[in-house]
Every structure is written in structure tokens, then in C-alpha cells.
């Protein structure tokens, strides 16, 4: 009985630790994102009601003496937000003293390029954060694979049997150009109508060859999930000094971004199912692994999720920053702002669709657990 209670207490403690880690990671990412919007809005003279750390009920507030902005700390430690006047249109907003805010202080009345910078600043901040973390990670622990160059093929496995050799560089898989190993793994995850995959490789002597590899299917006895085994080990990048580490962090960032583009295309084309996506539950599980793998894995997850948040936000879809940028571009093309009611309706519909997608993905994550 005592042992069961000990196990139960340990399970609860691990759950709490994982939740706190998740909140901490998401908090950093969202706060950095919102700070990007805040600092540029303030630079361009937009009236800002408040900049909050956290969400939910107010715990503490401080009013800036010079800028009049309410700097708040809120109860739920998940990121933060910035509240600006006239984010979409001039609605005759008033300040805390019930005085009408000057038109030149409304975001919607700022110059086109200023609004563009304010809108994309959050995404840029997320990307900068990710690159800095990847750089630190690489300096301490070294880099992994980026260029899809074969270091070794496992004996008696499909790749070796098909003729793939050490030193070969994979340039194309099933008709898709492959510039990074991250991108290659997404292509290998695509639904495939054939039993084999067609690899185009460049040999060490410069010649190119097409190789057909039929992967070995491995089935997990507990979950029933299937995975493909090719028997390929990819060569790691040289990150032996500061310069090489910096170049690696930039290349790794680009590699992750390109793999995300391929993932979106896979979802649109039906080559990847929604089950491949992860919602809050999936992210919780990934973050929880940092307990087992240590600070290096924690930093990588932080960088990876920061890129994810930035990438998703810049997509030209209503409710995201990219959706606002899209309407800004339409405004530039047509020479006048888009009708505010139409824009707000589009953002509302977009938010509802994203919310529904999150429900579906969360249910899928829960099913995977059990």
C-alpha cells in the first residue's frame, strides 16, 4: 500500500514538473513574441494601454511615468500580451482618463511600413531567440546532421542492400529536391503509393544515381504504430569553432523552416494526415522528455518551439500575424484599407477554425497516449 502511494505521489510530482516546464517554455516564447510587437509600437508612437507579463487576473501594476503605459504582472504565467489603440481601425478610442486618443497615436493610422514592422516584429523576435539558443546549444554540445550526407549504412538493412554507400549525398527523394536531412525526413514521412522510395544520390566521384529502397516496416507491439527502417546514418556537421557554430545555427534554422514548409504542403496535399500534428498534449509530452534528457534537450525544444510559433504566426491566415499582414498587403495593392467589419469577421472565422483544429489535434494526441 505504501509503495502504491509512493508511486502515486511520484506520478503527480512528475506531472506538476512537466506542466511547469511547459508553462515556462511557452511563457518565454510568447513573452519574447509580444515584446517584439510592444517595443516597435512604442518606438513608432502608438498609444499602448498595457504590456502584461502573464495572463488572467491582475496581480501587480506599475504605470510608466513618462510613457503612461500600464506594466502589469498577471496570475497565469503563460507569456504575456500588449494592448494597443486602433489595432484594426479608428473607433474613437479613449485613454485611461477618458480622453480621446489622438489619431496619430492609433496603430491603424501609422505609416504602412511602420504597421508592417509592428506586425512582423513578434515573429522576428521568435526567430532571433531560436537562432541564439541554437548557437549556444551548438557551442556547448556540438551540432547534428544538416546536409543529407551518408556517414554509414547499416549492414544487411534496406539502404545497404539497395547500394547506398558511405559518402553519398541524397539530393532527391520521390521527385522532391532534398537540401537538408530535416526536409528528407518529412519526405520519407509522406504517404507513398509504392513499396519503395526512389533516392537520387550523388556519389563521391560526382556521378549521380537513382536507387530504389524498400524500407523495413517495424511495428510497435504495444501501440501497433508502424515505422520505416532504412538503415542510414547521416554525417554530423563540423562545429569545432565559434564561426562554424554560428553558421550551423543559421543553417539549422533554415533547415527547420524548410521542413515546416514541406509539412504544410504535405497537409494541404493530403500526403500527411492531421495525426502527424501535435497540440498541447503532444507538446506536453515532448517537453516532459527534457526531464530524461537534460538541459541540452530542453534548449533544443525551446528553440524548435520558438521557430514553430514564429512560423505558424507568419502564415497568411486570418487570426495570425500573417493574416493581418495579408490584409495590409491587400490595402497596399488596392490603395485603401479593407473594410474593418470584413477584416474582423475574417479574423473571427480564422480563430474559430484554428480553435476547432486544436480540439481535433488534442483528441488525436490523447488517443496516441492510450
Binning pLDDT at 50, 70 and 90, where does residue 227 land?
confident
Cα dihedral sign for 217, 219, 224, 225? negative
Q: 368 pLDDT exceeds 70?
A: no
d(CA 197, CA 174): 6
The answer to whether residues 45 and 86 touch, using CB atoms and an 8 Å cutoff, is no
Least confident range of 305-319, 320-334, 345-359: 345-359
Nearest to 131 by CA among 44, 52, 248: 248
Cα dihedral sign for 274, 307, 35, 43? negative
The answer to whether residues 116 and 56 touch, using CB atoms and an 8 Å cutoff, is no
CA dihedral of residues 295, 296, 297, 301 (deg, nearest 10): 100
DSSP string, 300-337: HHHHHHHHHHHHHHHSSSTTSHHHHHHHHHHHHHHTSP
The answer to whether residues 340 and 89 touch, using CB atoms and an 8 Å cutoff, is yes
The answer to whether residues 174 and 190 touch, using CB atoms and an 8 Å cutoff, is yes
What is residue 7's predicted lDDT score, i.e. its pLDDT?
56
Q: What is the pLDDT of residues 4-21, one digit of tens each?
A: 555 577 777 777 777 778
Least confident range of 1-10, 126-135, 324-333: 1-10
Least confident range of 28-32, 34-38, 63-67, 87-91: 87-91
Q: What is the pLDDT of residues 229-265, one digit of tens each?
A: 899 999 999 998 999 999 999 999 999 999 999 888 8
Binning pLDDT at 50, 70 and 90, where does residue 125 land?
very high
Q: Where are the beta strands (DSSP E) in the chain?
A: 48-63, 70-84, 150-153, 169-173, 176-177, 197-202, 208-213, 216-219, 226-229, 232-234
What is the average pLDDT value for the chain, to the nearest integer? 86
Q: 189 pLDDT exceeds 80?
A: yes
d(CA 114, CA 108): 10
* pTM: predicted TM-score of the whole model, two decimal places: 0.86
Span between the terminal Cα atoms of the chain, in Å: 26
The answer to whether residues 70 and 50 touch, using CB atoms and an 8 Å cutoff, is yes
d(CA 349, CA 343): 10
Q: 365 pLDDT exceeds 80?
A: no
What's the Cα-to-Cα distance from 134 to each of 29, 52, 148, 303, rounded to whole Å?
14, 27, 19, 6
CB count, 10 Å around CB of 354?
Answer: 14
Phi-psi region of 225 (alpha: psi -120 to 50; beta: other; left: phi over 0): beta
Q: What is the pLDDT of residues 285-313, one digit of tens each?
A: 666 666 677 888 889 989 999 999 999 99
What is residue 286's predicted lDDT score, i.e. its pLDDT?
65
The set of cell numbers assigned to 262 is 514541406
Binning pLDDT at 50, 70 and 90, where does residue 141 land?
very high
Least confident range of 96-100, 145-149, 333-337: 96-100
Q: What is the pLDDT of residues 342-357, one digit of tens each?
A: 888 888 898 888 888 8
Binning pLDDT at 50, 70 and 90, where does residue 326 land?
very high
What's the Cα-to-Cα distance from 281 to each of 14, 20, 60, 194, 225, rounded to whole Å?
15, 14, 31, 33, 18
Amino acid at each position: 500500500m505504501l509503495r502504491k502511494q509512493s508511486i502515486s505521489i511520484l506520478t503527480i510530482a512528475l506531472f506538476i514538473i512537466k506542466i511547469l516546464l511547459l508553462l515556462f517554455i511557452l511563457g518565454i516564447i510568447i513573452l519574447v513574441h509580444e515584446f517584439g510587437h510592444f517595443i516597435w509600437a512604442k518606438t513608432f508612437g502608438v498609444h499602448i494601454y498595457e504590456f502584461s507579463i502573464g495572463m488572467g487576473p491582475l496581480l501587480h501594476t506599475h504605470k510608466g511615468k513618462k510613457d503612461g503605459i500600464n506594466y502589469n504582472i498577471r496570475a497565469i504565467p503563460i507569456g504575456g500580451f500588449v494592448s494597443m489603440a486602433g489595432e484594426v481601425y479608428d473607433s474613437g478610442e479613449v485613454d485611461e482618463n477618458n480622453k480621446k486618443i489622438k489619431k496619430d497615436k492609433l496603430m491603424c493610422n501609422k505609416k504602412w511600413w511602420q504597421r508592417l514592422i509592428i506586425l512582423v516584429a513578434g515573429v522576428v523576435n521568435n526567430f532571433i531567440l531560436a537562432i541564439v539558443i541554437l548557437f549556444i546549444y551548438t557551442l556547448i554540445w556540438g551540432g547534428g546532421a544538416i546536409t543529407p550526407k551518408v556517414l554509414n549504412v547499416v549492414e544487411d538493412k534496406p539502404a545497404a542492400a539497395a547500394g547506398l554507400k558511405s559518402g553519398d549525398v541524397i539530393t532527391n527523394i520521390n521527385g522532391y529536391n532534398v537540401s537538408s536531412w530535416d526536409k528528407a525526413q518529412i519526405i520519407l514521412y509522406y504517404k507513398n503509393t509504392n513499396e519503395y522510395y526512389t533516392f537520387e544520390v550523388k556519389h563521391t566521384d560526382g556521378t549521380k544515381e537513382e536507387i530504389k529502397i524498400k524500407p523495413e516496416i517495424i511495428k510497435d507491439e504495444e501501440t501497433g504504430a508502424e515505422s520505416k527502417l532504412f538503415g542510414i546514418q547521416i554525417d554530423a556537421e563540423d562545429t569545432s569553432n565559434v564561426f562554424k557554430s554560428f553558421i550551423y545555427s543559421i543553417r539549422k534554422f533554415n533547415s527547420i523552416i524548410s521542413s515546416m514548409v514541406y509539412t504544410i504542403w504535405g497537409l494541404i496535399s493530403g500526403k500527411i494526415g492531421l495525426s502527424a500534428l501535435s497540440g498541447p498534449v503532444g507538446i506536453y509530452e515532448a517537453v516532459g522528455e527534457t526531464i530524461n534528457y537534460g538541459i541540452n534537450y530542453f534548449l533544443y525544444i525551446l528553440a524548435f518551439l520558438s521557430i514553430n510559433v514564429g512560423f505558424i504566426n507568419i502564415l497568411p491566415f486570418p487570426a495570425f500575424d500573417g493574416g493581418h499582414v495579408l490584409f495590409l498587403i491587400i490595402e497596399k495593392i488596392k490603395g485603401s484599407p479593407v473594410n474593418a467589419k470584413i477584416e474582423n469577421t475574417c479574423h473571427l472565422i480564422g480563430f474559430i477554425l484554428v480553435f476547432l483544429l486544436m480540439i481535433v489535434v488534442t483528441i488525436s494526441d490523447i488517443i496516441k497516449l492510450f
